[in-house]
Structure 1
Amino acid sequence: MRRAAVPGLVPRPTDRALTAATAPADFTEAWLRNRRLSAHTREAYRRDVAGWLTWCAGADLDPLQASFLDVNAYARVLEATIDPRSGRLLTPATVARKLSALSSWYAFLVRLRAVPANPVTDADRPRINRDHSATIGLTPDQVDALFVAARADPRPNGGRNLAVLALLADLGLRVGELVSLNVSDLGHERGHRSVRFVGKGGRSRRRALAPDTARILDAYLDERARAAATTVDSLTGPLLVTATGARLDRHAVFRLVRRLARAAGLPAWDRLSPHSLRHAFATTARAEGVPLEDVQDAMGHADPRTTRRYDRDRHNLDRDPAYRIAAARSARAATTG
């Protein structure tokens, strides 16, 4: 049955009906529908393209006629823009991310033959130091101090807050992955307690829960079940909830991490984020001798260079391969001599 037309409402074209005459905003929605993205990434990309379209409108520029010179001009504007959250200029990584989203948008338009070429391809993008991460990391002792602060916190939802901390620190989850978890994502696989989630790029992933992490989650779920006068097996919906039962959001997790960091007396507590715990996960894992490829798999990185960026101890001369090579040579000489 065909839907009746609503007077005054222009119908949105289907993906197959997109043409060069289609409104750029409709191109954006079609582009996002055809990408496997988390809800958070989808919204960020939507904002990135909307920012470009707003700039084009102010410059009286048709975005479907833009050249790499126009993209360069826009990039210079971004580089001079103050981030309202930090009060500082946008970082090169942020500018590069916005241009990357724009490039993906134009690549979609090229495939639809709405534009002849991608104007971002030849644009002058910021150089990103892949050997550097702007995230403020935490040492193992500082992570331990956060756990102490969480256990000593007299506020309600103490069990939930401890569960948030354990999932961030012991699994290195992204905050979007964390808040998207449901009770049904917890399970058992081949003798392991496990959790399943949708990672970056819409990929389904699973991770093992260490015994301590599993115990913290069990205690939290027992606490929730008692408060609801039900059993753990009857709990459904979001894994991490507010006092009203709503899904915990990323902003609440940011506030929680900074509050606990302040209570723990950590320096730069007001600049820490959930990503600081993800950073600590990678750094600690490498310091404990976990192979790079295993850390890469655990973190869901497609490029090992991304994982290495978190490993700030990688330049420690104690880890120079020369020592192992020389030791192996000496051992061979001892057995043959």
Structure 2
Amino acid sequence: MLRSDVPVLSRAAGRPALPSGPMDFTEAWLRNRRLSEHTRDAYRRDVAGWLAWCGGRELDPLRASFLDVNAYARELEATLGPRTGRPLTPATVARKLSALSSWYEFLVKLRAIDGNPVSGADRPRLDRDHSATVGLTPEEVDALLAAAEAETGPAAARNRAAIALLADLGLRVGELVSLDLNDLGAERGHRSVRFVGKGGRPRRRALTPGTAYAVDAYLAARAAAEGVDVERLTGPLLATATGARLDRHSVFRLVRRLAQVAGIPAAAKLSPHSLRHAFATTARAEGVPLEDVQDAMGHADPRTTRRYDRDRHNLDRDPAYVIWAARARRRG
């Protein structure tokens, strides 16, 4: 029995059809998955891009083959990004095809099609040991936090809280801006925050004393501006002057502006994700086990966490030194 929010399939002429249009199935597919709103929007754009490509060639998406998907992928690889002016990266193309594959798998489960055409397509090869994100050294993160601390003005306290959450927790920008006030809490003596991570997985993280202080100072200032007690504040954790949710583009601009103030050379190329990379690198350099960093970052695959660790090839961390030191201790 199909769920009521899934469009009904027509089996006229012995083959299922999409009487209401493919985008209706897209919405049913998205409702069927635990995803953040940002991820839903990205997947929706990915599928819409494929459907537009099919429409321009009068190709029925239900009859597309892996050859059609290959042609689409090669065209994507030659497409210039609107912001960078450079061809889309293999990771971007792979992500678009991954979303498309999931969409088709949903149609297979509903028996709208016999097979997934993306499964046989030639997807871009990804270097799991490489990331295009510009990283930050611990000293540069300190300088960024200092620049935020030195700011004045009505948005200064909010900006300090945002940068502290990015630096100390290594949150994704989508996770940061999706936080609501009721996501804050306390568990076994820890100040904490709960949110939905990538893949729709519920997550919880501890707030460091410094981050908790920055968040409390911001909420106190916000409550005073609204003329209410902190406990009566509602809505998004990070809000604009009008009470709207702070968006990811504002956070991008904030990181780059503060980096420029801090004198960081790569300021124009930084992003909130740079702080996420710095979190992983510093945690590993300070001896935090890989599995703990992986859990903190919400990675399903430890290889992803290793890619974030910019210092992983540093010979100072070669385990040969640990083995040698242990042997030396045994010999007394």
TM score, norm. by length of structure 1: 0.93
Could you tell which deviates more after superposition, 167-176 or 264-273? 264-273
- Structure 1 contact 83–90 (Cα < 8 Å) conserved: yes
Please state how far the C-alpha of 1:198 moved relative to its aligned partner: 1.2
Distance 1:52 1:96 in 2: 13
Tell me the alpha carbon deviations over residues 192-223 of structure 1, each in whole angstroms, 9 at most, x when there is no partner: 11111111122211111111111111111111
Partner of 1:58: 56
- Structure 2 contact 277–310 (Cα < 8 Å) conserved: no
Please state how far the C-alpha of 1:311 moved relative to its aligned partner: 0.6
Partner of 1:187: 185
Among 40, 51, 55, the residue aligned to 1:42: 40
Letter in 1 for 2:172: R
Please state how far the C-alpha of 1:232 moved relative to its aligned partner: 1.2
Partner of 2:289: 291
Distance 1:330 1:149 in 2: 46
Distance 1:27 1:218 in 2: 43
Distance 2:28 2:237 in 1: 31
- Structure 1 contact 197–205 (Cα < 8 Å) conserved: yes
Among 213, 236, 239, the residue aligned to 1:238: 236
- Structure 2 contact 54–61 (Cα < 8 Å) conserved: yes
Distance 2:298 2:282 in 1: 17
Distance 1:116 1:21 in 2: 12
Partner of 2:278: 280
Q: Report how many aligned residue pairs link the two structures.
A: 322
Tell me the alpha carbon deviations over residues 299-330 of structure 1, each in whole angstroms, 9 at most, x when there is no partner: 00011011000111111111111121222223
Which blocks of at least 5 consecutive residues in structure 2 are unaligned? 11-15
Which blocks of at least 5 consecutive residues in structure 1 are unaligned? 1-12
Could you tell which deviates more after superposition, 240-249 or 301-310? 240-249
Taking the TM superposition and a 5 Å limit, the aligned residue runs for 1:93-242 are 93-242=91-240
- Structure 2 contact 157–221 (Cα < 8 Å) conserved: yes
Please state how far the C-alpha of 1:16 moved relative to its aligned partner: 5.8
Distance 2:46 2:321 in 1: 48
Partner of 2:68: 70
Tell me the alpha carbon deviations over residues 69-117 of structure 1, each in whole angstroms, 9 at most, x when there is no partner: 1111011100000000111110000000001111111111111111111
- Structure 2 contact 178–236 (Cα < 8 Å) conserved: yes
Please state how far the C-alpha of 1:331 moved relative to its aligned partner: 2.2
Name the SS for the 1:145 alignment partner.
Answer: helix
Partner of 1:328: 326
- Structure 1 contact 18–27 (Cα < 8 Å) conserved: no
- Structure 1 contact 68–121 (Cα < 8 Å) conserved: yes
Distance 2:150 2:265 in 1: 19
Question: What is the percentage of aligned positions where both structures have the same residue?
Answer: 75
- Structure 1 contact 179–250 (Cα < 8 Å) conserved: yes
Distance 2:81 2:180 in 1: 33
- Structure 1 contact 172–282 (Cα < 8 Å) conserved: yes
TM score, norm. by length of structure 2: 0.94
Name the SS for the 2:236 alignment partner.
Answer: coil
